[in-house]
Amino acid sequence: MRQRPFDLRSLTLILSATAIGAAWATYNLMLAGAVRDDSTVRPLVWVVFATPLAVLLGWLVARPREAGLAAACCFSLYFFSFFIAQRIETLIRSPDQAAASGHSAYFWTMIGIHVLAGAGLAIWRVTKPVLP
């Protein structure tokens, strides 16, 4: 049985985009600090949106023929990570602790989920042939 070639270019592009998105999300989370009011809405939106968007852009540069698959996977990552991060936060902190900390566990969990999923998507795609 012949082994599929490993697509190092796609891996590098998607992982680099994931790292850039996670760095941007982390920067915005640090920018927001522990304050949760109208002035921190924009940075907190970037925390949850930056990495899936970066993964999508990296995937589109690496494999433009897979635009539909990339959009579906990255939207699913964006959409479902809200629920997963919230559930994890409720397991490790009480509602009072979460509110007092400005839901910091939620936002850090969100970044972690996005990094792990971005790496997983990259590995999944580089081991598969490019879609026609």
Q: How do residues 70-100 score in pLDDT, each as one tens digit?
A: 999 999 999 999 999 999 999 999 999 999 9
Tokens encoding 43? 């940075």
Name the pTM for this structure.
0.90
Element (H, E) at 54: helix 41-62
Say what angle helices 67-92 and 104-126 make with each other, to 10 degrees: 140
DSSP secondary-structure letter at 45? H
- Angle of CA points 66, 74, 112, to nearest 5°: 135
R_g (Cα) of the chain, nearest Å:
16
Q: How far apart are CA 24 and CA 100, in angstroms?
A: 25
Higher pLDDT: 38 or 6? It is 38
Domain boundaries, the chain: 8-126
Query: Which residues fall within 8 angstroms of residue 97, CB to CB, at 6 or more apart?
Result: none
So what's the pLDDT on residue 3? 53
